[in-house]
Amino acid sequence: MIKNSNNKRLGWVITGSGHFFEECLDIMSELGEFDLFVSKAAEEVIRMYRKKNAQFPKDTRIFKDTTASSAPVGFFYKNIYHTLVVAPATSNTIAKFVAGISDNLATNIFAQAGKCKVPCIVLACDTEPEHDTKAPSKMVKVYPRKIDLENTKKLKSFELTTVVSSVEDLKKVLKKI
């Protein structure tokens, strides 16, 4: 699933969303070899939700957002990815995606994946007018705004982009790649 018949890899972008965060880490812990791109906010959020370090499969390559030019985007020019997953995707990251902004690692990876015609699967946090979410210490109810819901809807019209709204749907789509 993760390395396809052409020996291409899966790329995964993780952003700073508490919603779906732990579930995504669980999915990743069971994947084969893949490349993980971590937003600055995700680096902070991971420490709030996981008491100990997240476990990733051996050979996972992890890239943090440490360069102004988002240097790891260079991998996309080498044609090494068959699919990009962005999960979970914050409302911030989705707003930037639909506005065509590339000013950090997550947004640059998405933009370059699109420009290199790599299909992308995005697990959006804000797909319903209200949902329960896990804050670091307890469950809370949140009410995504009209702008957040509109941005998610706009992203669905992007070429080569599949937007999913649940962990179950993400797992189903991942099984097919």
Ligand X SMILES: Cc1cc2nc3c(=O)[nH]c(=O)nc-3n(C[C@H](O)[C@H](O)[C@H](O)COP(=O)(O)O)c2cc1C
Q: Which segment (42-50, 78-86, 109-117, 149-157) binds ligand X by CB under 6 A?
A: 42-50
Q: How are beta strands 9-14 and 34-38 bridged, if at all?
A: parallel
Size of the site for ligand X (CB under 6 A): 19
Contact call for residue 57 and ligand X (CB under 6 A) = no
Using the rule CB under 6 A, is 151 a contact of ligand X? no
Q: Which of 67, 102, 86 is nearest to 152 (CA)?
A: 86
Q: Using the rule CB under 6 A, is 70 a contact of ligand X?
A: no
Task: Tell me: does residue 16 bind ligand X (CB under 6 A).
Answer: yes
Q: Closer CB to ligand X, residue 92 or residue 112?
A: 92
Rounded-to-integer distance, Cα 148 and Cα 175, Å: 28
Query: Cβ 96 to ligand X, closest distance in Å?
Result: 7
CB 120 within 8 A of CB 110: yes
Q: Rule CB under 6 A: is residue 140 a binding residue for ligand X?
A: no
Please, are residues 85 and 174 in contact by the beta-carbon 8 Å criterion? yes
Residue from 84, 106, 121, 122 touching ligand X (CB under 6 A): that is 106
- Residue type at 11 in one-letter notation: G
Instruction: Tell me whether residue 45 or residue 109 sits nearer to ligand X (CB atom).
Output: 45
d(CA 158, CA 140): 31
Please identify, among the stretches 22-30, 34-42, 52-60, 115-123, the one whose residues bind ligand X according to the rule CB under 6 A: 34-42
Among the residue ranges 10-18, 76-84, 109-117, 168-176, the one whose residues contact ligand X (CB under 6 A): 10-18
Query: What's the closest the beta carbon of residue 41 comes to ligand X, in angstroms?
Result: 3
Q: State the residues that interact with ligand X by CB under 6 A.
A: 15-19, 39, 41-42, 45, 48, 90-93, 104, 106, 125, 133, 136
